[in-house]
Structure 1
């Protein structure tokens, strides 16, 4: 190979490298240790990251450094597969400006652990989002370095999505899975080439880490798209979320065995036992959500007057050789990072972990992953039971033949409490 030919190959590679990088899937970047209690909110409550276009919502997080650092935000519109929408300019999907400083923040008050709480509202005086679809919200520091990112989706009401949760027909998993039967009905327009142009995404309790993609319509009736699959639209049902409550941070109640004092309080939970081989037991949960709360009578704003505490988790379970176990919930966006990975203690024969969390009511679960870091729902530590109550969301994406982006034209929801055979 001549030197001239090598230089030609290098030139071609460098020419196309920006396009390759730009088409990369935009993964969520977990926040660093000092960023906690990250959440999307609607009407003052934590919410799954799916919002109607032009509907107001907020994004919040705490910085445990508490030094009133300057944080900025940037927003990227993405295709169905979470690659950047390369055919759109930023002015196509944002009215206003990008990379703006988050101007609303409040310092904690009367807490042992100091922190600054940041609130970013949409729309705001700088930024209005114009298009439906997938979005990546990037939080940057003063040096314009990305600190962490979160996905969210905006949708329009152009189609209805009737959904029914059913038990699977496969007798080997009939007691362990939920199957989603649904259809897509457009409102006043005809789908163009629906097998190619219509795509769906299925979510269990608002989670991205076990979402289902790339399922085509099974058949059509007129302009209605029908999905009645036996396997392609199934989720492992899991078990009810575990919980603890420490809205009074100095008293041991509701699955807290004791409280100890230190620089901040330590909240020691009762040891959980793996439930995979135990009978299903119903108890209400909030499907992974959490509520920040401090019941001290002097508290006027629990969002900045609630304290942080070290929460000590322990799990009695068989040694999961070749698998990793994580603590997950909406409080940490089900992150699979070392901060939430359970450690096996050979002396106590328990999986253990201490996590700093904000006081209130918290749902959590133990997540098993395979060697590639993928959620292993089949071998869930707490088992899979069709009786489990889960919330399911279906998003419908559509790109007409001449469109430049994947819009989200409808959403369907269903709860497994209404499961049928």
Structure 2
């Protein structure tokens, strides 16, 4: 057991090694970390520089009263390492603020405080584009990060287009999807469009299989065409699984049992099975997102309760592989909080998480035990099916000669239909 725990910690460190600048929660009292852009929870966390866009970060603390929390911002390079800029180079105003927008839960078995942070606000504005990391910490312990969130600020000076096809350079309507990207950098201040742009493409908000390409297949004037590039071929995966805990009086979608055992409600998710050998079945999902919802409430943010949620996967033990729960509710991290544990007594992989009432998308990803770099597989449990309705986020960065940071010059998203 000790050896297995050590291996898990080593794997977790390897897969979250961006000095850990990944979105995540690092304190056991904090839960339900979410972002929205102008009230849209489906939107990626990208603000338009100089616009009226607002990013809202929300989270809960399981407590009877509020804590004195503060936040600060870090500017990052395209690869999410911290940039060398000082605060005055990326912000106009103050790089700290009190988290003073909060409400107490009401009519819930579990007491919590719901916090909101809105960016930018009357304390500061963004001077430049790029990647940013929001840190939240206690007023009396600024060195200890309670939680952090990645977001981006885009200039939108480049015109970015994207397409996704199931006819790829390696198979035809089988198990992959291929993305092509066009970047018109005429107004983006890029000197050499063949060498000076970095194009990042991610699938369904996942970080483990995000790819970066530098050189396009061809260039015409100031327009670069990223076509027929092997890194832009993705395993197609499968539609996300869904479950709902929108009520504490009756079991919701894909819930076998709902009970109250003081002090928490408990929901038993119907046992899942591998789908890799089944035929593809269409389902309209939100590609890994989750939505807080209490069926009988007009204000689920503070009236949704917390539910101890029990997941089980009926699959044979896979020596040499780890199975992780993937979705926005796990912050897309491969760590002990998302790791499924095999129970030899029941013959099931199991995981129990405390989740806020709502509608959840999730899937099971496998990672080789010896993995040193991110890269999980859908093939083993979920299967790879070309019709899957994946979403791809495309981000384009550049750095002028003499500049000390990566500018985010364009962002777009595309969905396979």
TM over 0.5: yes
- Give the C-alpha shift of residue 342 in structure 1: 0.7
| TM-score computed with the length of structure 2 as normaliser | 0.89
**Equivalent in the alignment of 1:27:** 21
SS at match of 1:331: helix
Contact map agreement 1:276 1:380 (CA 8 A) in 2:
yes
Contact map agreement 1:26 1:84 (CA 8 A) in 2:
no
CA distance in 1, matches of 2:212, 2:37: 26
Unaligned runs of 5+ in 2: 1-17
SS at match of 2:301: helix
- Give the C-alpha shift of residue 283 in structure 1: 1.0
CA distance in 2, matches of 1:130, 1:191: 19
Unaligned runs of 5+ in 1: 1-23
Contact map agreement 1:72 1:101 (CA 8 A) in 2:
yes
**Equivalent in the alignment of 2:328:** 330
- CA deviations over 1:137-157 (Å, ceiling 9, x no partner): 111123102222221111122
**Equivalent in the alignment of 1:397:** 397
For these two proteins, the number of residue pairs brought into alignment is 391
Contact map agreement 2:159 2:185 (CA 8 A) in 1:
yes
- Give the C-alpha shift of residue 346 in structure 1: 0.9
CA distance in 1, matches of 2:113, 2:207: 28
Contact map agreement 1:240 1:389 (CA 8 A) in 2:
yes
CA distance in 2, matches of 1:141, 1:66: 16
**Equivalent in the alignment of 1:12:** none
SS at match of 1:232: helix
CA distance in 2, matches of 1:183, 1:171: 21
- Give the C-alpha shift of residue 269 in structure 1: 1.2
CA distance in 2, matches of 1:195, 1:357: 46
Computed over aligned residues only, the root mean square deviation of the Cα atoms, in angstroms, reads 1.9
CA distance in 1, matches of 2:355, 2:270: 16
- Distance change in 2, residues 1:189/1:136 (3 Å): closer
Contact map agreement 1:203 1:394 (CA 8 A) in 2:
yes
**Equivalent in the alignment of 2:341:** 343
Contact map agreement 2:393 2:412 (CA 8 A) in 1:
yes
- Give the C-alpha shift of residue 378 in structure 1: 5.7
CA distance in 1, matches of 2:384, 2:127: 41
CA distance in 2, matches of 1:118, 1:399: 36
**Equivalent in the alignment of 2:168:** 169
Within-5 A mapping of 1:113-192: 113-142=110-139, 143-144=141-142, 145-171=144-170, 175-188=174-187, 191-192=190-191
- Give the C-alpha shift of residue 168 in structure 1: 4.9
- Give the C-alpha shift of residue 26 in structure 1: 5.1
Contact map agreement 2:208 2:376 (CA 8 A) in 1:
no
| TM-score computed with the length of structure 1 as normaliser | 0.88
1:388 aligns with 2:382: no
* Stretch of structure 1 that moved more, 122-131 or 234-243: 122-131
**Equivalent in the alignment of 2:286:** 286
**Equivalent in the alignment of 1:303:** 301
SS at match of 1:303: helix
SS at match of 1:91: helix
- Distance change in 2, residues 1:110/1:186 (3 Å): same
**Equivalent in the alignment of 1:238:** 237
**Equivalent in the alignment of 2:208:** 209
**Divergent runs of 4+, >6 A:** none
Choose from 77, 80, 84 the match for 1:79.
Answer: 77
